[in-house]
Amino acid sequence: MAKGKEHTPWVTVERGIRKYEHLTRKHGLKPDVYYALRYRVEGKRYEEGLGWASQGWTLERARLTLAELMVAKKTGSGEVTLRERRVKAQEERAEAKRQQEARRRLAVTLSEYWHNNYFPDCRQSKAPETWRKEESNFRTWLAPAFGDVPLREISKADLDAIKSKMASAGLAKRTTQLVFATMRAVWNHARGNKLVEGACPTQEIKLGKISNARNRALSSKEAQELLEEIQRLDEKAWAFTLACLHTGGRLSEVARLTWGQVNLRERHITLVHTKTGKPRAVPMTETLVSLLRSMPHGQAQDIVFTNAQGKQWTSMPANFRKAVANLKLNEGRTDRRELLVFHSLRHSAASMLLDAGENVRTIQELFGWSTLAMLQRYTHPTDEKKQRAMGRLDTKLKQQPANVHDFSEAQQKGSA
């Protein structure tokens, strides 16, 4: 409210209504007028300003406001002071804003949530190869199917449609499983932000038994020929491929190796960025030691193996794929589990160590597996222990006639 000489003295217009005029400011041709109310509630006097004529206040509007307050005072319902009115109006506006925000959140689409919430967090918290795969799953399958659908409205039917489309495209169940895993990760992230409730609809989808374990491994001869062909095509790709084969490291682990993690004196490297999150020391083969000694050394933080552009490897070298094609290493193979891929280098290293009779626990530690289950795919039908076991079976069978059991009779007895 204006002070001092900016306005005329207060004037009581009528009971409960006061006003003053601004000395300089006009409203139309007349001075701007300020209105206020004066009244009592439960013995306490209130004097509260209403506003200027230039803000829409008139004597009639002031009378109406005062009358409404008096009715509320008499009936005991509603706000009896202007302050109470203003507080309630403020609360109502805040509630309306909350409801509007709630409606907006309910209407957030999958694409909106992906770009504004999930993916920024994903890039910060997950390894590059992981978030790149998730981004590919979203861009290729999820966004085209229901990117514009509110996240909370995505249903089992929507996911069934993707499942059918992927099956029609001849894609493996494992690929569908990975796309659904991306959807589930987004859903769980949104649930943490209270945008959705309950389990992701992917839980209702049955994909059946999935066997995706790759069991292709190179022989020593194939490995040597492959390295020679890659070296002919690309020295940088050759050095990186050789390092992966001679350490059994994952692509992402070896790609992030820095010179500070190479100890040529002790002849070992330390893979820091591992899948399990636990750093892993790996002794170096003579071949790898020779390679690293022949390379120009960088600063401790510099990446050891870079591509032709001097950048860190983020995916399988193109010339690895070209060398595999040139040598026809995948020719005639239709089962994708039998195809030679870059990760097959890790399989090959493990398989060769097993063939050499190395202790499985040692291999488990070298390769960073939390369980021995991963080693099962590297055992072979020619394993000496298995051959001895089957030999004993053969001997036993030759010693006496085999007893032929009537299993139907046994089942009947068992159910009796």
* Domains, the chain, with CATH or none: 4-103 (no CATH), 110-204 (1.10.150.130), 220-378 (1.10.443.10)
- Four-residue CA torsion sign, 120, 123, 125, 130: positive
Indicate the residue type of 26.
K
Residue 210: name the closest of 163, 249, 165, 250 by CA. 163
Note down pLDDT in tens along the chain; length 416 residues. Answer: 444 578 999 999 999 999 999 999 999 999 999 999 999 988 899 999 999 999 999 999 999 999 999 998 888 888 888 888 888 888 888 887 887 777 677 789 999 999 999 999 999 988 888 899 999 999 999 999 999 999 999 999 999 999 999 988 888 888 899 999 999 999 999 999 988 989 999 998 888 776 666 678 888 899 999 999 999 999 999 999 999 999 999 999 999 999 999 999 999 999 998 888 889 999 999 999 999 999 999 999 999 999 999 999 988 999 999 999 999 999 988 877 788 999 999 988 888 888 888 888 888 888 888 777 666 665 554 455 555 655 665 565 555 454 444 434 444 444 43
Structural contact between residues 186 and 141, judged by C-beta atoms closer than 8 angstroms: no
DSSP per-residue string spanning 251-267:
HHHHHT-BGGGEETTTT
**Which pairing describes strands 280-283 and 268-271: parallel, antiparallel, or unpaired?**
antiparallel
Tokens 């289950």 belong to residue:
373
Token pair of 387 as six digits: 């051959």
